[in-house]
Structure 1
Amino acid sequence: MSRKFLDTESPGWVTDGLISEAQRQQLLARYPQQAPALGLLPILGSVLVGLSGLSVVAANWQGLPTALRLALLLASLMGSYAAGSYFLRRGNPDLGHGLIGLGLILFGASIILTSQLYQLVGYDASGLLAWVVAGVGLSYVYGSRLLVLLTVLIGAAVQTYCVESLGIFSYVTAWLIAGGLGYYWWRRPDVVGSYVLAAGLLWQAGLLIIVLHAKITWFFVPTMLIYAAGDWQPNRLGGRALQVPPLVAAYLFMFGLAIFGEADAYANVLRPPLLPYLGALGAVLALSVAGKRARGRLASLPDWLLLLPGFYLSGGLSLAVATLVVLYAHAGSVLTRANRDHDPEQLTIGAVLFVAATAVAYFKLTWGFMDKSLFFLIGGILLLGLSWYLRRRNAQVLAASPAVAQQAGTPAVIANEPGAPESTQHSSLLND
C-alpha cells in the first residue's frame, strides 16, 4: 500500500468512522515514509565519479605502462565487488547490487581490454563465455533482479558477436542463459525477471534461425517452448509473465500476415516442410496442454490460435479472411476470459485486439468495395453489441451471488440495512 495514499485517504476514514485515530497511526507506522531520492543520490554520485575516472584513464590509456593498465583493471574490478559487498552488509541492497553489477560490467571490459593489450586475436568466444558464466554465478549468489537483467543482456551481446563477427552460434552461451537462468527463474519466478528472461531467450532463438538459414517460421517452435514452460510454472503470475513475449511475437507475426500476406511471394520464406514443422509444433502443443491441465489453466488454451499455420494457404482473399478469423477468435477468447475472471486489464487488452482486427479488416477487405460509412456503422454496432453483452453477463453474475450464498446455507446480507454487520457496512462504504 502506498504511503501517499494513506496520508491522503486515512483522515477521511477516521471522519467516516471506518477506523479510529489509533488505528490510523498504526497503519502509518506499518508503512513508513520512504525517501527514494536519498537512496538514489549515492548511486548517481558513484556513477558520476566512476565515469570521471574512466574518462581520465581512457584519455591516457595508450600512454600508460602495461603493468599499470593491468593494475587499474584489477583494482577497479575488485573495488566494485568489495564496495558492493560492504553496502549489502550495511543493509543497502540497491546500491550494493548496483556496484556488483558495475563489477560484472568491468569484468567483461577487462577481458576485452586485456585481449587488445596483448594483441590477442579472438577466433572463438571462450573469453566472453567466462563473462556469461560470471553473470549466471553472481545471479545465484546475490539473487538480484538487476544481475539477471545484466546477464541476459550480456548473453545477447555475446551471441550477437558470435553470429555477426564469427559466423557461428554459441550453443554454450544459449545453454547458460536457458539452463542457468531458466532454473533460477523456476525457483524465483518474479514478473520482471520473467519478462526479461523470455525476451532474452527469444533473441537467442532468432539468432539461431539466422545462423541455420532456416525458414523464419521455425522460430515459433522454440518460442512456444518458452510459452509451454510458463504453463508448467506453479507460480501463476510468473508463468504468465514468461508467456507474454512469445504471445506478442506470435500476434505480431499473425498481424503482419494479415496485412502483407496477400501475395504468394512469401512462400519460400515462411513455408517449412509441412510434416516436420507440424510434428515439432504439435509436440510443443502437447507439452503446453499437459502443463495447462496439470496447473488448471486450460482456459488459456485459445492462445494457440495465433500459431495456426495459415501461411500454407495460397495468398489472396482466402489467406486474408483466414488470418482475420484467427485474430477475431483470439480477441474474443481474451474478452471472454477477462469477463469470466473480472479482469479489467485483460478486458482492455481484448478490446484493443478487437479494434486492431477490425482496422485490418477495414483496410484489407472493405477499402475498395464497401462504403466507408457503412463499414463504420457495422463496426460500431459490433462494439456496442459486445459492450451490451459484457454488461449483461456482469449483471447476471452479480444477481446470482445472493442465490449462491442462500444455497450454501448462508443468508444473503445487504449492506447498510439495520441488521447488517458493521464490517459489511464499512465494506460497502469503501466500495462506494
Structure 2
Amino acid sequence: MKNQWLEKESKRWVEEEVIDSQQRKAILNLYPAKNNTSIFFTFAFMLFSLAVLTFLASNWTDIYPLIRTTLLLGFLIVFYYLGTRWIEDGKRLIGEVSYLIALLLFGFSIFLIGEMYHYHFNSIFAFLVWSFVALLLYLSYSSRWIWAAGVLIIVVGQMVNLFGLREFSWILFILFVLAYGLILYARNIRWMAIVYSIAFFIQILGLSAEKLSLVWVTFFLISLYFIGKLIGSTEVGKVLHSLAPVYMFLFVVFHVLFISGDFQFYEELNVVYFVVHIFLMSLIILYLYMKKEIFSIVQLVIFIPTFVIPEASDYVASVALFIFSVSHLMEGFKFKNQRHMNFGTATFLISTFVVYSKVAWGYLSQSLFFLVAGVILFVIGYLLNRQQKMYIEEGGERNDS
C-alpha cells in the first residue's frame, strides 16, 4: 500500500516539476516493494516441521536409540543452519521461525535423550540449560521472539519445579532477572516489558505460595515498582511501575475475597519480612517525597501488609483498595489525565463490588444481591463519568493510551 501511494504521489511530483523522472526513480528504488508471499512459505515450513515431529513422536518406540539421537541432533542442526541462511538472505520471518523450532528441538532433545539412555536429568537443570541456550541464541541473533521464548522456558521450568518437586531455582530466577532483564532494559520495548512483568509475577506467586508465604508477594511487587521508578524515564520503567500496583491490587482483591478467613495464612508471618518490607517502603517513600510525587506516596497504601491484623484484615484491605482507587481518580482530575481517570474509575468500581460482595453475599438472595449490586455500580459509574466529562470540558487532556 505504501509503495502504491509513493508511486502515485511521485508521479504527481514529476508532473508538478517538484522532482524530475530520474529523482523519482531513485526515490522508488529506496523503497522496494515487499514480497508478502514469504508468510505462506513460513506457514508451509511450520506445517512441514510439525509433520516431521508428529511422525517421529508416533513412531518413537519403533526407532533404535542411536537413530533417535541422530535424528534429533540432525534436525536440530538443519533447522539452525536453515535459519542462519534465510536470515542472511533477508528472509527474517522464516529464519526466526526456524531458530525457534531449533530451540524447541534442543529442549526436547535434553529430555528424550536422557530418557533413552536412562539418565534422569534434574528437571530444573534441564530448563536451566535450555534457557541458557536460548540466551546464547539471542546473543547470536537478537530476535525479540527468541527472548520471549527464553522467558517462557524459565517460567515453565519454575512452575514444573515448584509444583512437581516443591523446589524453586534461584539460579534460574537470577538468570531471568539479570540476563533477560538487562536485555529488556537495552531493547526498551513496551510489549517485552509487559511479558517480563507477567513472568515475574507468576514466578513470585509460585515462590511465595510454595516455599515462603503469600505475604512475600508484597515485597517482590514493591521491589518491581521501585525498580520501575528508578528507570522511569524509559519505556520499561513506565511499564514496570505501572503494572506492579495493578498486580498488587489484584492480589489484595484475592486476599479480601478468599484469604481473610484463613488464619493459617497469618501464622506464617515473620520478623524478617516486616523488617525488610518496612525498610524498602521507607526508602521508596523518601525517594518519592524527594521527587514530590505525593499521589504516588498515597498509592503505596496498596503495598501495605494489611493482613497484620487477622481479625480485621479484610476491612483494612478494603480501605486500602478505596484509598488506592480514589487517589488515582484525584490524580487524574488534578492533572486532567484521562488514563488515570479511567484506571481510578475501574479500580473504584471493582473495590465497591468486592466490599459489597464480602458484606452482602451472606445476607441477600442471589437475585436481589446482583440487582442491588448492579444499581450501586450503575449510579457510581454514572457519577464518575459525569465528573470526568466536566473536567475534560474544562480543558482536560484526553489520554486514552
Query: Please, what TM-score do these two structures have when normalized by structure 2?
Result: 0.79
Tell me the equivalent position of 1:335.
Answer: 329
1:114-263 map, 5 Å = 114-123=113-122, 125-212=124-211, 214-260=212-258
State the one-letter code of the partner of 2:358: K
- CA distance in structure 2 between the partners assigned to 1:385 and 1:41 by the alignment: 52
- Structure 1 position 37, deviation (Å): 6.0
Matches of 1:111 and 1:277, distance apart in 2: 38
Distance 1:160 1:362 in 2: 34
Matched to 2:95, the amino acid is: G
Q: Is the 8 A contact 2:299 2:323 kept in 1?
A: no
Taking the aligned partners of 1:155 and 1:374, their CA distance within structure 2 comes to: 45
Give CA-to-partner distance per residue, 1:209-239, whole Å, 9 cap, x none: 3443x32111221232222221122444322
The alpha carbon displacement at 1:88 in A equals: 1.8
Q: Distance in 1 between matches of 2:166 and 2:33?
A: 50
* Structure 2 letter corresponding to 1:313: I
* Deviations 1:367-391, CA, capped at 9 Å, x for gaps: 649x988887776554444344433
How many residues end up aligned between the 2 structures?
Answer: 379
- 1:68-107 aligned at under 5 Å gives the runs 68-107=67-106
* In 1: Cα distance, 2:284 partner to 2:33 partner: 43
Identity across the alignment (%): 19
Which amino acid counterpart does residue 264 of structure 2 have in structure 1? N
Deviation at 1:341, TM superposition (A): 4.9
Shift of 1:65: 3.4
What's the CA shift string for 1:337-363, capped at 9, x where partnerless? 334454444433322222222223333
Residues 62 and 275 from structure 1, CA distance in 2 versus in 1: closer, same or farther, beyond 3 angstroms?
A: closer
Contact 2:353 2:377 in 1 (8 A): no
Using the TM superposition, name which of 383-392 and 80-89 deviates more.
Answer: 383-392
SS in 1 for 2:119: coil
Instruction: Give the structure 2 partner of residue 267 of structure 1.
Output: 263
Aligned to 2:347: 353
Letter in 2 for 1:65: Y
Aligned residue identity for 1:325: V
Superposed CA deviations along residues 103-156 of structure 1, whole A, max 9, x for unmatched, are 111111111111112111224643432111111222333222211211111112
Higher mean C-alpha deviation, range 32-41 or range 217-226: 32-41
One-letter code aligned to 2:99: I
Say if 2:85 and 2:95, in contact at 8 Å, map to a contact too: yes
Please say if residues 86 and 96 of structure 1, whose CA atoms lie closer than 8 Å, have aligned partners that are also in contact.
yes
Inter-CA distance 221–103: structure 2 relative to 1 (3 Å threshold)? same
In the alignment, does 2:283 pair up with 1:313? no
8 Å contact from structure 1 (residues 271, 311) kept in 2: no
Instruction: Return the alpha-carbon distance in structure 2 between the equivalents of residues 153 and 89 of structure 1.
Output: 27
Residues of 2 paired with 1:141 and 1:380: CA distance? 55
Change (3 A) 1:117 1:244: farther
Q: Equivalent of 1:279, from 275, 282, 288?
A: 275
Aligned-partner Cα distance in 2 for 1:304–1:52: 52
Equivalent pair of 1:156/1:200 in contact (CA under 8 Å): yes
| In 2, Cα distance between equivalents of 1:62 and 1:311 | 54
1:239-289: per-residue Cα shift (whole Å, max 9, x none)?
Answer: 23234553333112211333346xx64222145436432322223324544
Q: Distance in 1 between matches of 2:215 and 2:326?
A: 25
Give, in whole Å, the separation in 2 of the partners of 1:55 and 1:243: 43
Aligned-pair CA distance for 1:86:
1.7
Amino acid at match of 1:352: A
> TM-score, normalising length from structure 1?
0.74
Instruction: Supply the AA of the counterpart residue of 2:229.
Output: D
Give per-residue Cα distances to partners, 1:285-343, cap 9 Å, x unaligned.
Answer: 2454466568886643444221222222343xx54443332222212222233344544
Listed one character per residue, the Cα deviations across residues 30-56 of structure 1 (whole Å, up to 9, x for unaligned) are: xx8987963432221111000111122
Cα 1:381–1:119, aligned 2, differ >3 Å: closer, same or farther?
closer
Unaligned segments of structure 2, at least 5 residues: 10-15, 19-23
Aligned partners of 2:358 and 2:127: how far apart in 1? 48
Q: Distance in 2 between matches of 1:265 and 1:219?
A: 18
Three-state SS of the structure 2 residue aligned to 1:119 is coil
Aligned residue among 313, 316, 319 for 1:322: 316
- Look up the SS of the partner of 1:169 in the other structure: coil
Q: Structure 1 residues 40, 296: closer, same or farther in 2, change over 3 A?
A: farther
Q: 1:44 to 1:386 in 2, by over 3 A?
A: same
**Structure 1 residue matching 2:37: 3-state secondary structure:** helix
Q: 1:383 to 1:115 in 2, by over 3 A?
A: closer
Q: Indicate if the aligned counterparts of 2:72 and 2:109 stay in contact, CA closer than 8 A.
A: yes
Three-state SS of the structure 1 residue aligned to 2:262 is: helix
Cα distance change on mapping 1:147 and 1:320 into 2, 3 Å: same
- Give the structure 2 partner of residue 404 of structure 1: none
Structure 1 regions of 5+ residues with no counterpart?
12-19, 402-432
Shift of 1:62: 2.7
